[in-house]
Amino acid sequence: MSTTPATILIVDDDWMNRELLQAHLESANYLVIHANNGQKGLDTIAVNPPDLILMDVRMPGLNGYETCAQIKANPASQHIPVLMMTAFDNEEAKSKGLEAGADDFLTKPYDMVMVLARVRSLLRIKALHDELKRRESLLHDVLHHHLNPEIAQRIMDDLMRQSST
């Protein structure tokens, strides 16, 4: 496990929400970066991919659903967990967020204990994913070093097929 603090991107057009979340997250030893709209969030992710994204739904320009969908459609960012945070408190809003690719959903006003619990949970899942990708890369390197490249690729393809079922 890395001792480097996780980086969390807050994407919210309300400066007060960003500041409040940032203060709580930094007191829990996370590094926090932020963007005040969806496009700036996408630009930030392209330059400095975070470990987790906290995303408001209602924002000017790209809303949270659209931004989340773009994050999840991009192979470079699709595995970054997104926690949608909004004042919408209905099943339609939640399902719309999950359909856009969000990994979790909280309604405002939120309890900071619950926010931090969900942040830790999503970061644990991300760490497991990152470790799996690291091991996959290592296996790829070992197989390609010791076997015929065609055979090594067949083994990797078979393993990937098995893991996706």
Does residue 51 sit in the same domain as residue 32? yes
Does residue 68 sit in the same domain as residue 122? yes
Residue 153's domain spans which residues?
133-163
CB 149 within 8 A of CB 132: no
Domain of 26: which CATH number? 3.40.50.2300
Say what the pTM is. Answer: 0.81
- Tens digits of residue pLDDT in 23-73: 999 999 999 999 999 999 999 999 999 999 999 999 999 999 999 999 999
Helix/strand/coil percent split, the chain, to 5: 55, 15, 30
Note the pLDDT of residue 165. 59
Does residue 52 sit in the same domain as residue 107? yes
Does residue 91 sit in the same domain as residue 124? yes
- Tens digits of residue pLDDT in 89-129: 778 888 888 889 999 998 888 889 999 999 999 999 988 87
Quick one: which of 54, 59, 63, 70 has its CA closest to 18? 54
Residue 2 lies in a domain: no
Quote the CA–CA distance of 102 and 73 in Å, as a whole number: 12
Dihedral (C-alpha) 6, 40, 10, 64: value to the nearest 10 degrees? -120
Q: How confident is the model at residue 163 (pLDDT cuts 50, 70, 90)?
A: low
* Number of domains present in the structure of the chain: 2
Does residue 117 sit in the same domain as residue 139? no
Between residues 141 and 42, the one the model is more confident about: 42
Does residue 66 sit in the same domain as residue 99? yes
Between residues 88 and 81, the one the model is more confident about: 81
Does residue 71 sit in the same domain as residue 141? no
> Does residue 164 surpass a pLDDT of 90?
no
